[in-house]
């Protein structure tokens, strides 16, 4: 834990400071702005981005993310390491004031997420980690005291009934196809709708078994969650190929994917018949 904190403590400090600004704005009235692609943005997104950017620039590692100008792929393709940031994932949920939004910070190395942090300003909880370190959960109060972190256990058997957790704001008929497949293979299912990468809190704690996404996402929506989930034996696999999602691609959009416990072996079954 100490080694992890020494290397990535700057991401924790960034998330804690950004969370204060986000919650100050959340408590009052704020304007919703439409971006060119039609997606919403608020002052909280922009201010959080500035704070996180200020911290991460100290590492001299380039940054890509939701609210910063993207470098052309001709430049990005030469990067061996890059921070991947969503300063407020779940802006629609933030606007609805349902609390289902988070901060995502991931480090990508050679197109793979090697470290991730997801912070929930409303719940005052952080999950973080990567394959080289394991994964941990902590309160905001304990975040700067690694000796107080809770080490998360490797993912165990599938729940009964199988728990599918899906997007609150995006729905696809393909979810029904996957649900039918899981029900035939694993028995009774139940489902929960939840916004943002907050879903990864349920996944890494073993409370949810499957997170399917058959709607658009960007790299910064998922990279942090993938790093943490893989540290515990989870998988985040492309639907078409059954391979793990990769990052710092020419197209920063993610393909459709399913995150699940490795024990479900969806990559060997569902993906081959999709």
Residue 41 has pLDDT above 60, yes or no: yes
Provide the sign of the torsion angle of the four alpha carbons 258, 124, 205, 112, taken in this order: positive
DSSP letters for 164-200 = EEEESS---THHHHHHHHHHHHH--EEEEEE-GGGHH
Q: Could you tell me the residue range of the domain that residue 253 belongs to?
A: 162-273
Tell me the per-residue pLDDT of 184-195, one tens digit each, with 9 for 90 and over.
888 999 999 999
pTM: 0.95
Percentage of residues in the chain with pLDDT exceeding 70? 95
Q: Which of 117, 151, 185 is the last residue of a domain?
A: 151
Tell me the per-residue pLDDT of 133-157, one tens digit each, with 9 for 90 and over.
999 999 999 999 999 999 999 998 8
* Count of residues making up the chain: 274
**121/14 same-domain check:** yes
Query: Residues 96, 14, 198, 242: what is their CA dihedral angle, to the nearest 10 degrees?
Result: 130
Name the domain count of the chain.
2
**103/123 same-domain check:** yes
Residue 94 has pLDDT above 70, yes or no: yes
**129/253 same-domain check:** no
Please compute the mean of the pLDDT values over residues 214-226 and round it to a whole number. Answer: 95
User: Please, which pLDDT band fits residue 267 given cuts at 50, 70 and 90?
Assistant: low
């Amino acid at each position: 834990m100490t080694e992890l904190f020494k290397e990535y403590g700057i991401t924790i400090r960034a998330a804690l400071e950004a969370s204060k600004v986000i919650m100050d704005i959340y408590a009052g009235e704020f304007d919703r702005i439409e971006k060119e692609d039609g997606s919403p943005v608020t002052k909280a997104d922009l201010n959080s981005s500035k704070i996180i950017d200020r911290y991460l620039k100290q590492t001299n590692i380039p940054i890509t993310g939701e609210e910063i100008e993207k470098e052309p792929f001709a430049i990005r393709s030469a990067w061996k390491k890059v921070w991947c940031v969503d300063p407020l994932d779940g802006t629609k949920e933030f606007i609805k004031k349902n609390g289902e939004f988070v901060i995502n910070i991931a480090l990508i190395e050679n197109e793979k997420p090697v470290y991730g942090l997801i912070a929930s300003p409303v719940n005052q909880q952080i999950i973080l980690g990567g394959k080289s370190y394991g994964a941990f959960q902590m309160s905001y109060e304990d975040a700067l005291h690694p000796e107080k972190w809770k080490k998360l256990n490797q993912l165990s058997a599938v729940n009964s009934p199988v728990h599918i957790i899906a997007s609150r704001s995006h729905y696809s008929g393909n979810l029904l196809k996957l649900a039918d497949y899981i029900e035939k293979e694993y028995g009774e299912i139940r489902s929960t709708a939840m916004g943002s990468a907050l879903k990864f809190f349920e996944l890494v704690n073993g409370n949810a078994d499957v997170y399917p996404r058959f709607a658009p996402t960007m790299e910064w929506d998922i990279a942090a969650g993938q790093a943490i989930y893989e540290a515990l034996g989870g998988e985040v696999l492309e639907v078409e190929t059954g391979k793990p999602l990769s990052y710092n691609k020419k197209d920063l959009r993610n393909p459709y994917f399913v995150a699940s416990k490795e024990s479900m072996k969806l990559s060997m079954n569902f993906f081959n018949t999709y």
